[in-house]
Each structure stands twice: as structure tokens, then as C-alpha cells.
Structure 1
Amino acid sequence: MDNIAGKKSALSWAVHLSVLVLVVLWLLPTAGLFISSFRTADQIAATGWWKALFASEQNLALRTGAPDSARQAGGLYVIEGNLLEGENPDARIATWGTTPRQLDEFKAGETGTTRDGASLTLKADGSYRMESPSPFEGKRGERLFAVAKLPPKFTLANYARVLFSGNATDSMAKAFFNTLTVTIPATIIPILIAAYAAYALAWMNFPGRALLIAVVVALLVVPLQLALIPLLKLHLAIGIGKGYLGVWLAHTGFGLPMAIYLLRNYMAGLPRDIIENARVDGASEFEIFRKIILPLSFPALASFAIFQFLWTWNDLLVAKVFLIDATGKTTVMTAQIVELMGTRGGNWEILATAAFVSIAVPLIVFFAMQKYLVRGLLAGSVK
């Protein structure tokens, strides 16, 4: 009875558990990126995204009012104010000190002595009172350091900076449309060329067909980095380098081997009777291709379109080589993210926001066409 056909395998739970683990591993980075895109730089530096809903402790560098803001009261020179106004109005100070090495020198509400000898009382809400029997000297206020608890905070400022930073040519919005300009033609052109080539290799008999199939398979393992410089020199020699046309043709050339291989395998698995009956009825090769092969090959076409779209959208290397523009008018999103990060690469909140903006379109494309992806990948595996 254990081998009855159709009985559920005892290891099905292991399959389900494995799928669940893979889904969680795939979703966690995306969720972390999404949450981090709404956090401030200080919060990202202090705690991980999984603590975004809880208060966090942060070290703050603060400065009191300038000496010229002092007033006289009862024979004393007094400077009052609130150190948390502006950026951190909801923070609560726990301890503070006069040097960054002694952040717990005084507790909130206690009165301490500054380096200039003035007495200073700093409360948890950031309000302070600094008194001195003699006039305050210098041009700048007293430097203080505090440990404060900040409540959870989410902001849209990161998205405003990413999408609308600088002028029109420097913003991520401009780079978004530049990426679409590169990606859409670089996805459509290889599909058009590969569909014709795949049909010829699958259903037309001509000398050297087997050799061409072998060449296509061999090209699948050739690293594209080997062809970048020779191809760039060719583009510059014929006058199409450093522009959209050059990057379209580069992506087409790099994507054609995979496209032809995938589509040829699918088309070769289509029923032969349909093709032969169409030929008997007098249909030409082009009519067979257009009216029969293309509609039946839609899953494979969609499958390759997903691969090509995702690869082209996320590409940085080919765009850096074939699409260099000093004015920034043709900068794609991957290159724009590098620019937004700056030379030191410390703006992690900008990286998270820009990365999530960049992956939004690929996610939509993938979920909209995922059913065709599986059908296209399994093409030709069974008869």
C-alpha cells in the first residue's frame, strides 16, 4: 500500500518547509530595504531595520547658544534654550557630558560644569540653562555630547531627495526614464532577431545548421567582459559609441545567444503535425512563423523577456562602458545611485531608498509574468 500511485509523499513537509525558507530568505532583504528607505541616517547607523518600530539610543553632538545671546539676570550671565529643537524634537536625553568620551558624566536634569567654568543644567526634553558670573567669551556656543532615546521615526525626505535632488538631469526621476529608454529597446530587439533565428534552427533544413547551434551554445559561456573593449572600439570606429544606439546593440549582442538557445528549444518541442499540415495547406514559412509559431511560443518569449529586462535594468558595467555622458543626460539608475552615494559612500539612507526605487519596476514585471517564466524554462524538457 505504500507504493500506491497518487499517495502523498511522506517527505512533502520537507519540500514545503524548504520553499518557505527560500521565500523568507528572499523577502527579508526586500523588506529590510523597504523599511530602511523610510529611516533617517542616524537611525540606520544606530540600529538595524528590525528595530525600526522601537525607540533607539543615539549619541548626539549638541551646541548651546552663542555668547552674544546671553542676558543678565540677578548679577549672572544666562543663556537659555532647547538643544533638541529642529532635527530631534521628540528625543529624550538620558545622560550628557562635556566630552565625547564621557557621555554619562551627568544625568538629565543634573547641573554640571562646562569647560569654561559655567554651570549648566540640561533636562531630558533638551531645555537648558547655563549661568556664569562673568561674560561668556568666544563666538560659538558650548559643545555638549548626550545619549538620547529617539522614538521610531519614518520620513519621506529620502524619497524626495532621491527623486528630485539637484536639477532635472541629476535626479533619479530623469535616470528612471533613461533606464527605460535603454531597457525597452534592449529587450525587444534581441527577441525579434532571436525569434527568426530560433525558428530557422528548429524547423528549416539548411547546410551548417548543426554547426550554428553548436556556436550558439558555445557563446553562452563566453564572458561578456572579454568583448567590452573590442566592441567599444568598433562602435567608436563606426560612430555609434557613447550613445543609446551603441548600448542597445551591445545588450542585443550579449543577449542573443541565450535568447536563441531558449526559443529554439521551445520551438523544437512544438507538435510537428501542425507545421506539416500548414505546409500542405500552402502556408509559407513566414506565415507559419507569424500565425502559428509566435502565438504558441509566447511563454518562451515572455520568459526571455523577463531575463533580458531584469539584466538590462540592473546593468551597470555595460552602461558605464557604452553610455558615458559628462552632462548626465543619459545616466541610468544604477550609475545615478553611485553618484547619490557620494565619494565616501556613507549615505546609507540614500542607498536604501534609491535601491528600492530601482527594484520596484523589476518586481512588478516579475510578478506579472512569473507564470510564463516557469513554462518557458521547462520548454523542450519533455515531449
Structure 2
Amino acid sequence: MIGSSSRRSPLTFVVHLTVLFLVVLWTLPTAGLLISSLRDKDQIAVSGWWTALAPSKQNAVYRAPAPDTQVEQNGRYVITGNVFDGGTGTVSAFGNSVQTPDEFEAGETATLSDGVTMTVAENGDFTISSAEPMKGRRGERIFYTTSVPPQFTLDNYREVLSAQGLGQSFINSLTVAIPSTVIPILIAAFAAYALAWMKFPGRALLIALVVGLLVVPLQMSLIPLLRLYNDIGAQFGVSPKGYLGIWLAHTGFGLPLAIYLLRNYIAGLPREIMESARVDGASDFDIFVKIVLPLSFPALASFAIFQFLWTWNDLLVALVFLGSRDDQLVLTGRLVNLLGSRGGNWEILTASAFITIIVPLIVFFSLQRFLVRGLLAGSVKGG
């Protein structure tokens, strides 16, 4: 007989279903971006990514030949041609105004002004005829709705990767992100060890200050920080636009979370190890370098993932501290410029999104096995 302890609680299934729902909820937009990045730009403009495998309907206009090309057939004056002009497609409906491009079904005969009739077949062949000779300098406009089969292409990626200055912007982003990740980790590791294991006056106040700094919004402190940096830089002859400023800015904004995360982890390390090392004559620096740092690698990797993602995808801080010159733009700034001042080239946005996440994905999958351990360790037990 199976004991009740081996039966799964209904709450377990609820948790699993909830997790599955959240995974799908977060995966669908990413899948939509990937599919859209591989679609033809004309189809992106008229239909959603979920219709990528179905034919899409597009409205188009064709200018028929001028009346001087008309020929007389069976007592009527006729102009013929094909709206695809040598191409292929399927016409589902047509009309003679931009407001009603699908007024008539393909194959129907539409009566226009002055007794002129127009017929457009599914294959695009059209016939415009009249009992009297047609007059005018320009041909009749034919508005039609066509069914276009699914089209997938790499043109969006080619347009982004061939953009001028993209390589330099990629190097700029690496130059910003790597030091802005390493510097806060180095400073925060020393501070976290001191707050966790060293006794000194005001330690509790410093911990409370670090927690309070977690809620300071970047946007409110950015401009005062820039003014302070410019004033100090003017005294020492440091350029206000350069990598030093953006490194210091990202370090300042990343330190509160880094210290808080690492302090919780380091405080949860076994006290016996620290005491044994001190009995053997090890100093605080020796304990930190030889014991704490190797054991704290999961927490260091967890913060490195978050900090690298923030600095790599940053645009605001880079524009403020680095500048917007062509040789100073980071990758996000370069891709924003590709969209145009009015967003006219927005179809390359999806391809740009996947190009920018290549490096963060490499970093994440390289360190992800330490992520959960680093975030959860120390959440129950504190030093």
C-alpha cells in the first residue's frame, strides 16, 4: 500500500503549472522577436509574427498604361496588362480608390466613371474597357489586395551587421562593460568581508546605509553625479567625456547591490573555518584571499551576470558620461541610430535585439550554474 507521504500534494501541481506558465509567458516574446527578425520587412509591417507560416495580405497599387495604348476589340476600346508587371502573386480583391482596395472580388467587373469597366483576375491580369475611346494623360490606378506566401530572409541581419561603425561600437561596449563589472566586484568583496566578519564601530549603520542605497533611482542621481564628476575632473585636468567617468558611474550604481549580495553570502560561511585560520595565525587579508574568495565564487558570479547585463545594455549612462560622437557610441546607441530619427527602419529592431544579446547569453550560460546558489545562499542564515 502506498503511503500518504509518497503522494504528491495538489499544491505541487499548482506550483509546477505556475512555473510553466511563467516560462511560456517570458519565452513567447523572445520567440516572436526571433521569428520577426527572419521575416521579410514588408510582411512584418502588415501582419504579426504568429502569422509567419500563413500567407499575408498586402494592399498595393498599380498604374495602368496610359489611354494612348488602348486597342479596339469587338467594338470596345481595351487596355490590358498584369498588375504584378512580370512578377507572380494572387489577387484576392481590387478597387479603384485607396479607401476601398478590396471593394470587388477577383474576377468581378467593376463599373467606373464614364462607362469604363475594369476586371482583375486572380493571377493579376486586368482588362479596362470602354465603349468610347478613353482620354487622359495618365492610366487608371488599380488598388488591389494580394496574398503573399511566407517569406524568410537574413536581410535584416545583413543590414545591421554591415552598418558602418558597428565594430567600433562593439569594442566600445566591451570596454565599458568589462571594467564596470570587475571594479565593483573587487571593491564590494573587500567591503562585504569587513561588514560580515570584522568588528568595528558603526558597522550596523553602514549595513543600513547600503540597504537604503538600493532604492535610490539612477535617473535622479545621474545629473548631480555628472556635475560632481565634472567639477572634480576640472581640478585635476580629467576630460569630462571618457571611459573613466562611465566606469566610476557604473561602479557607484552597482556597489550597493554587490555589497548587499556578497555580505549575505560571506556572512553565511562556516565560522569554524575563520576561527581555525585565525588560530593558525592568518590575518584578515589572508583569510579573505585564501578562504573567503574561493568559497564566494557563486555569489561573485551571480553579481557578475547582473552587472554585465546592465552595463552591456545601458544607453543612458553611456550617452551622459561617454558622449554621442560617432567613435564614442556604444552598441545600443549605434543600433538606435540605425532605426532613423523617426523610427522608419524599425524592421531591423528585431535583428538588432538578437545581435546585442549574443555576448550576454555567452556570459549567462557560462556562469548560470552559480546563479541560484549565489542568490539564495545567506538568505536564511546571517553572520
Tell me which interval the TM-score lies in, with the shorter structure as reference length. 0.7 to 0.9
| Counterpart in the other structure of 1:84 | 84
Structure 1 residues 99 and 217 mapped into 2: Cα distance closer, same or farther (>3 Å)? same
Distance in 1 (alpha carbons) for counterparts of 2:284 and 2:189: 13
Aligned to 2:240: 241
- The equivalent of 2:177 in structure 1 is 183
When residues 265 and 233 of structure 1 are mapped into structure 2, their CA distance, relative to the original with a 3 A threshold, is same
* 2-structure distance, mates of 1:216, 1:268: 15
One-letter amino acid matched to 1:343: S
What is the CA-CA distance between 1:179 and the residue it aligns to?
2.2
Q: Flag the 1:45–1:279 CA change in 2: closer, same or farther, 3 A.
A: same
State the TM-score, normalized to the length of structure 2: 0.85
Give the counterpart of 2:219 among 215, 225, 247. 225
Q: Paired residue for 1:10?
A: 10
Q: Name the CA distance, whole Å, in 2 between partners of 1:10 and 1:201.
A: 43
Superposed CA RMSD? 3.2
- C-alpha deviation, 1:246, in angstroms: 1.3
Alignment of 1:24-103 (within 5 A): 24-64=24-64, 70=69, 82-84=82-84, 89-103=87-101
Mark the CA change 1:268 to 1:160 in structure 2 (over 3 Å): closer, same or farther: same
Question: Displacement, 1:78?
Answer: 8.1
| Deviation by residue 1:282-332 (Cα, 9 ceiling, x = unmatched) | 333322222211110000001111111122222222123222223x22222
C-alpha offsets along residues 19-73 of structure 1, whole Å, 9 cap, x if unaligned? Answer: 11011101011111111112233322322211110112221123345789x5979
Amino acid at match of 1:157: D
Decide whether aligned partners of structure 1 residues 288 and 44 sit closer, same or farther in structure 2, where only a CA change above 3 A counts.
Answer: same
Cα distance in 1 for partners of 2:152, 2:304 equals 36
Aligned with 2:357: secondary structure? helix
Distance in 1, matches of 2:283 and 2:191, equals 16
Quick one: distance in 1 between partners of 2:156 and 2:83?
A: 24
Q: Within 2, Cα distance between the matches of 1:294 and 1:145?
A: 70
Counterpart for residue 160 of structure 2: 162
User: 8 Å contact 1:80–1:129 — kept in the other structure?
Assistant: yes
Distance 1:66 1:361 in 2: 56
* Equivalent residues in 2 for 1:164-313, closer than 5 Å: 164-165=162-163, 168-169=164-165, 171=166, 173-237=167-231, 238=233, 239-313=238-312
Give per-residue Cα distances to partners, 1:187-218, cap 9 Å, x unaligned: 11111111111112222233332222222122
Partner SS, residue 58 of structure 1: strand
Larger deviation: 279-288 or 225-234?
279-288
Residues 47 and 56, structure 1, Cα contact 8 Å, conserved in 2: yes
Q: CA deviation at 1:349?
A: 1.9
Q: Is the 8 A contact 1:77 1:136 kept in 2?
A: no
Q: 1: CA distance between counterparts of 2:340 and 2:113?
A: 36
Note the 1:120-139 alignment, pairs <5 A. 122-128=120-126, 138=137
What secondary structure is seen at the aligned counterpart in 1 of 2:240? coil
Distance 2:263 2:188 in 1: 9
Structure 1: where are the runs of 5+ without partners?
none
Query: Which shifted more, 357-366 or 250-259?
Result: 357-366
What is the TM-score when the length of structure 1 is the normalising length?
Answer: 0.85
Distance in 1 (CA, whole Å) between partners of 2:183 and 2:306 is 14
Number of aligned residue pairs: 374
Amino acid at match of 1:345: G
Q: Select between 332-341 and 256-265 the one with higher mean Cα deviation.
A: 332-341
What's the offset of the Cα at 1:112? 5.5
Secondary structure of the equivalent of 1:32? helix
The partner residue of 2:340 within 327, 339, 342 is 342
One-letter amino acid of the structure 1 residue matched with residue 208 of structure 2? A
Tell me the distance in 1 between the aligned counterparts of 2:228 and 2:58: 55
Cα distance in 1 for residues equivalent to 2:41 and 2:208: 53
1:52–1:263 Cα change, 3 Å? same
Q: Are residues 128 and 377 of structure 1, via their aligned partners in 2, closer, same or farther at CA, if it must alter by over 3 Å?
A: same
Partners of 1:90 and 1:150 within 8 A in 2: no
The one-letter amino acid of 1:265's match is N
**Residue 344 (structure 2) pairs with residue 374 (structure 1):** no
Aligned to 1:329: 327
1:71 touches 1:78 (CA, 8 Å); kept in 2?
yes
Alignment-mate amino acid for residue 160 of structure 2: V
State the distance in 2 between where 1:312 and 1:333 align. 11
Per the TM alignment, residue 337 of structure 1 is displaced from its structure 2 partner at its CA by 3.5
In 2, distance between residues paired with 1:5 and 1:111?
A: 76
The 8 Å contact of residues 67 and 141 in structure 1, kept in 2 or not, is answered as yes
